[in-house]
Amino acid sequence: MTANFLQLENGQYPNLMKQLKNENERLNAFNFIDETEKTGKIISVKDNICVKGMPATASSKILRGYVPGFNATAVERLEKNGFSVIGKTNMDEFGFGSFGLNSEKPAKNPFDEEYIAGGSSSGSAIATAIIKDHVSIAESTGGSISAPAAFCGVVGLTPTYGLVSRYGLIDYASSLDKIGFMGKSADNIRDVMSKTVGEDPKDTTSLSKNVSNENSRVLYVIDNLMEGVDEGIRDRFESLLSNLANKGYKVEHTKIDYLKHAVPAYYILSMAEASTNLAKYQGFKYGFKVKDFSLNYNDFFMSARKQFGREAKRRVILGTFIRSKSIKQKYYEKSLVLRQSIIKMMHDVLKNGFIITPTMPIFTPKIDEVKDISPVEAYSMDMLTVPPNLCGFPHMSFPYFYEKGMPLGAQLITDHFNDYALLDFLSEWEKDFKYTFKEELG
């Protein structure tokens, strides 16, 4: 089975909506589809990014019924440039997951419904895969754009932290969350990205830096980062490196020893921040509201917070523990120091070229197989996508191979604010390597 294109031709929006609803029944790509007639270019938006008048649930029962009266800055800027939002895409609850299964409606891979779509931006990847020339606005904390992009055979670009305003984003971990893009071509992504970047007075973490495109013909492979990668993935990746070398790229091998600590540092920091960010969901202001005011204090708030899914509860509990007085210095503060060390070490490599890795260390698993994976094993699947996310470096997953009909993705990382160099690489890849999504799917 292969992903099929939905067409938007001659302004036949109702026809697209009919097809999209049928596909959504099969794949669970959207939490909400807006059937109102649209004009201009259409985009979809991950369900933890606010769109005025559309539900924003972050795939959580605790936010069911919440409809924001404002747009996220990224959405506002795109709508002012003629883009229209067709719906809110499915995701792992609050971004907690790598497989797209921590949702009321598990996301399914458009190439084969027995396989995962990846997470947490699962719905954005599916929408991009099945709608012609589509770009979806997604979000990444530790690999939430790259993972589903790789599993669904599309391009996922995660910008430099702060380059795109986070105003209107339902937070997971504030120092890690980045709004980014999924598409099928460099031109489509560049068109959308260029209209969203820039400083925003509503977001103190947004930056006004110019975005460069300093290209390099040097690709660094981090050997110790490859140690946990499936042997079959390594073989396919070596073939990619050979192809790139034949096209004039110089492949260098190096080590960054501290990267083995990136995943534990990431989860310590992200869970601590998540437990803080999710504290505001108390059954009063947003979404689910407790109506029994006869309950005592603890029972009142527990009746609201039990609406969290299992993974959300796990991360809130662990994050609260990590922030406790007796533990904070031992783990949280050390993770902050480690993060700065990894940033410096990666920067020392990136100032001389790109870093290239497989996007995910495994082939796309079946949904039934993931059910047997422990939480710790699931967290370790982020070993390749966590380092650039932890450090705020821009990175891009792009498809380069198909294994038994399922796509594989490679990840390219560059230095801060050199985001457009990733799209320049992709433009060259599309041209020189004769790769187009449409040709592969036939």
Interatomic CA distance for residues 188 and 229, integer angstroms: 31
Point out which residues pair with 136 in neighbouring strands: 44, 182
Query: What is the mean predicted confidence (pLDDT) over 214-235?
Result: 96
Confidence check: pLDDT of 131 > 50:
yes
How many separate helices (H) and strands (E) can be counted in the chain? 16, 13
Q: Residue 301: its pLDDT value, please?
A: 85
Q: Residue 385: its pLDDT value, please?
A: 98
Q: What is each CA distance from 346 to 255, 258, 293, 333, in whole angstroms? A: 10, 10, 53, 20
Q: Residue 14: its pLDDT value, please?
A: 83
Q: DSSP for 259-307, please give it.
A: GGGHHHHHHHHHHHHHHHHGGG-SSSSSSS----TTS-HHHHHHHHHTT
Band (387; pLDDT cuts 50, 70, 90) = very high
Band (437; pLDDT cuts 50, 70, 90) = very low
Coil/strand/helix, residue 248 = coil
Q: Residue 413: its pLDDT value, please?
A: 98
Query: What is the mean predicted confidence (pLDDT) over 239-257?
Result: 95
Question: What contacts 106, CB < 8 A, 6 or more positions away?
Answer: 28, 100, 367
Q: Residue 147: its pLDDT value, please?
A: 98
Query: What is the mean predicted confidence (pLDDT) over 257-286?
Result: 93
Query: For residues 257-285, b (16+ Cβ closer than 10 Å) or e, as one string?
Result: ebbebbbebbbbbbbbbbbbbbeebbbee
Point out which residues pair with 357 in neighbouring strands: 411
Q: DSSP for 160-211, please give it.
A: PTTSB--TTB--S-TTT-EEEEEESSHHHHHHHHTTTBS-BTTBTT---PPP
Point out which residues pair with 115 in neighbouring strands: 366
| Active site residues per annotation | 46, 120, 144
- Per the model's pLDDT, the better-predicted residue between 40 and 103 turns out to be 103
Q: Residue 439: its pLDDT value, please?
A: 39
Coil/strand/helix, residue 375 = helix
Q: Residue 440: its pLDDT value, please?
A: 42
Q: Residue 212: its pLDDT value, please?
A: 92
Query: What is the mean predicted confidence (pLDDT) over 271-296?
Result: 88
CA angle (279 as vertex; 277, 281 as ends), nearest 5? 105
Confidence check: pLDDT of 302 > 50:
yes
Any idea what DSSP says for residue 106? -
Interatomic CA distance for residues 300 and 313, integer angstroms: 17
User: CATH for 13-215+395-401+416-441?
Assistant: 3.90.1300.10
User: End-to-end distance of the chain based on CA atoms, in angstroms?
Assistant: 12
Per cent of the chain over pLDDT 90 is 82
Confidence check: pLDDT of 67 > 80:
yes
pLDDT in tens, 174-218: 999 999 999 999 999 999 999 999 999 999 999 988 899 999 999
Band (6; pLDDT cuts 50, 70, 90) = confident
Confidence check: pLDDT of 341 > 50:
yes
CA angle (415 as vertex; 414, 418 as ends), nearest 5? 80
pLDDT in tens, 389-422: 999 999 999 999 988 889 999 999 999 999 999 9
Q: DSSP for 116-165, please give it.
A: E--SSSHHHHHHHHHBTT-EEEEEESSSTTHHHHHHHT-EEEEPPTTSB-
In the chain, domain spans: 13-215+395-401+416-441
Any idea what DSSP says for residue 366? B
Band (438; pLDDT cuts 50, 70, 90) = very low
Mean pLDDT of the residues in the chain: 93
Q: What is each CA distance from 209 to 199, 203, 416, in whole angstroms? A: 8, 14, 10
Band (290; pLDDT cuts 50, 70, 90) = confident
Structure tokens at 161: 């932290």
Rg, the chain, Cα only: 21
Q: Residue 76: its pLDDT value, please?
A: 98
Q: Residue 433: its pLDDT value, please?
A: 64
**Of residues 111, 143, 123, the one with CA closest to residue 408:** 111
Distance of CA 127 to the CA centre of its chain: 13
Q: How many CB atoms lie within 10 A of CB 199?
A: 13
